[in-house]
């Protein structure tokens, strides 16, 4: 359940207290049910990206953060610029953002948590998506998530 604590910590850190959030409550029910039958690491990653969609702090992953153009093919990524960037709006700090990674993230946002729907991911996409998310969360908070410190001690 260490990955469950990661999901709970994101809710605690980024969503307002004492405000009804029925969509979040429904999502969490599906997420915690998925922990019972699916890879916990992937479930936690997907849940975190979906939860950040509700915070208003989400980066842009499918469209250029500058011009809003829907991205096709490989692009660039800069957290400081707000996320994905097209070639025309590439900033000096931007790193390559492969189409395959963007497609994986798009599938994460569209995932409906139905028990009979499978979800496959390559190791590279999983690791890169984790790096993007964890780095961003830590910069927003100004400190590492306690649950991640615990998870890293276990592995």
- Reduced to 3 states (helix: H, G, I; strand: E, B; else coil), residue 125 is helix
Residue 35 near residue 3 (C-beta atoms within 8 A): yes
Question: Average of pLDDT values for 26-50?
Answer: 95
- Mean pLDDT of all residues in the chain? 93
> Is the Cβ–Cβ distance between 50 and 27 less than 8 Å?
yes
pLDDT at residue 136, as a whole number:
95
Q: Report pLDDT for 139.
A: 93
Arch. (CATH architecture) of 2-57+99-154: Up-down Bundle (1.20)
| Range of weakest confidence among 21-25, 50-54, 110-114, 149-153 | 149-153
pLDDT surpasses 80 at 144: yes
pLDDT score for 155: 63
| pTM of the shown model | 0.92
Through-space distance between the first and last CA atoms of the chain, rounded to whole angstroms: 14
pLDDT > 90: percent of the chain: 80
Residues pairing with 95 in the sheet = 77
List the domain boundaries for the chain. 2-57+99-154
Query: Given the structure tokens 């139905």, which residue do they identify?
Result: 114
Would the pLDDT of 17 be above 80?
A: yes
pLDDT band (50, 70, 90) for residue 152: confident
- Angle between the N-to-C axes of helices 146-154 and 2-14, in degrees from 0 to 180, rounded to the nearest 10: 160
The angle, 0 to 180 degrees and rounded to 10, between the axes of the packed helices 40-53 and 2-14 is 10
């Amino acid at each position: 359940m260490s990955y469950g604590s990661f999901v709970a910590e994101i809710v605690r850190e980024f969503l307002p207290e004492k405000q009804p959030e029925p969509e979040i409550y429904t999502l969490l029910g599906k997420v915690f049910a998925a922990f019972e039958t699916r890879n916990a690491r992937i479930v936690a990653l997907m849940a975190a990206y979906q939860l950040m969609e509700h915070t208003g702090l989400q980066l842009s992953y499918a469209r250029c953060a500058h011009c809003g153009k829907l991205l096709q093919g490989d692009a660039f990524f800069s957290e400081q610029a707000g996320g994905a960037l097209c070639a025309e709006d590439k900033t000096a700090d931007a790193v390559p953002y492969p189409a395959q990674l963007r497609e994986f993230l798009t599938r994460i946002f569209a995932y409906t948590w139905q028990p009979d729907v499978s979800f496959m991911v390559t190791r590279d996409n999983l690791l890169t998506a984790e790096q993007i998310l964890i780095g961003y969360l830590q910069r927003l908070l100004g400190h590492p998530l306690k649950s991640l410190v615990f998870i890293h001690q276990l592995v």
